[in-house]
Chain A
Amino acid sequence: KNEVEQSPQNLTAQEGEFITINCSYSVGISALHWLQQHPGGGIVSLFMLSSGKKKHGRLIATINIQEKHSSLHITASHPRDSAVYICAVKPGNQFYFGTGTSLTVIP
């Protein structure tokens, strides 16, 4: 049983394309995190959301708490955006992570 489901699992895009990654979860939460993981394994926290929408540069994250769904959008994608994007929720003491979406942006 996966508390967090992400789609798609793999995504290849041309540079400049608008990208959407989706996350659905089955547990009650107060916040959801979007993380970016590069090939070396290091993780960067992109957003922590509890409602509505947040924007940082070309990244936009939205969440619908009632529908238990969040999306991460990347506008004007660039090869340096190539990474694994992971959705994580924390209903209690620990995080539950999605398996990630592997994004490759081709020049």
Chain B
Amino acid sequence: GAGVSQSPRYKVAKRGQDVALRCDPISGHVSLFWYQQALGQGPEFLTYFQNEAQLDKSGLPSDRFFAERPEGSVSTLKIQRTQQEDSAVYLCASSFRQGGGYTFGSGTRLTVV
């Protein structure tokens, strides 16, 4: 596609429910990032992939958060047993190469009730 596509656009989950957020990067983009943005805050780093390799997951806030990119293209961010503090916009960004220009997706707004 022409841009980075994220789905769903909005997600409401009951506390304790598992959710899966999808990111479709631009075809051929090697680098992929996930960010979490709480209301009124700047985005906070979660994890980084280079192709299928997860090179940095230091930003994942707990072991309830898990990200994968098994074939080096589509990535999924999974949150298990969601809690209210997980409510945020989850942003995905990709780049053709490290240090190149980045394209951001529109984000998934997760609300945990």
Decide: A33 and B42 in contact? CB cutoff 8 A. Answer: no
Q: B51 an interface residue at 8 Å Cβ cutoff?
A: no
Write the nearest CB–CB distance from B58 to chain A, whole angstroms.
Answer: 8
A94 close to B33 (CB less than 8 A): yes
- Does the CB pair A99–B41 fall under 8 Å? yes
Which of the four size classes fits the interface of chain B? Answer: 20 to 34
Q: Chain A residues with Cβ under 8 A from B7's Cβ?
A: none
Set of chain A residues within 8 Å of B37, measured between Cβ atoms: 41
Of the 9-residue stretches B15-23, B70-78, B79-87, B97-105, which lies at the interface with chain A? B97-105
Given contacts A31-B99, A94-B56, A99-B42, contact A43 B48 (CB under 8 A): no
Report the separation of the CA atoms of residues A97 and B55 in the bound assembly, to the nearest whole angstrom. 20
Q: B104 near A43 (CB under 8 angstroms)? A: yes
B26 at the interface (CB under 8 A from A): no
Known: A41-B89, A86-B42, A95-B43. A33 touches B102 (CB 8 A): yes
Are the CB atoms of B101 and A93 closer together than 8 Å? no
Q: A interface, how many residues as a size bin?
A: 20 to 34
A106 close to chain B: CB less than 8 A: no
- Cβ of B35 within 8 Å of any chain A Cβ, yes or no, is yes
A83: shortest Cβ distance to chain B, in Å? 13
Closest chain A residue, CB of each to CB of B98: A93
User: Which B residues are closer than 8 A to A by beta carbons?
Assistant: 33, 35, 37, 40-45, 48, 55-56, 59, 89, 91, 93, 98-99, 101-107, 109
Q: Would you mind naming 23 contact pairs between A and B with Cβ atoms under 8 Å apart?
A: A4-B42, A30-B99, A33-B102, A40-B107, A40-B109, A41-B37, A41-B106, A41-B109, A42-B107, A43-B93, A43-B106, A45-B101, A48-B101, A48-B102, A86-B42, A93-B48, A94-B33, A95-B35, A95-B43, A95-B102, A96-B45, A97-B44, A99-B42
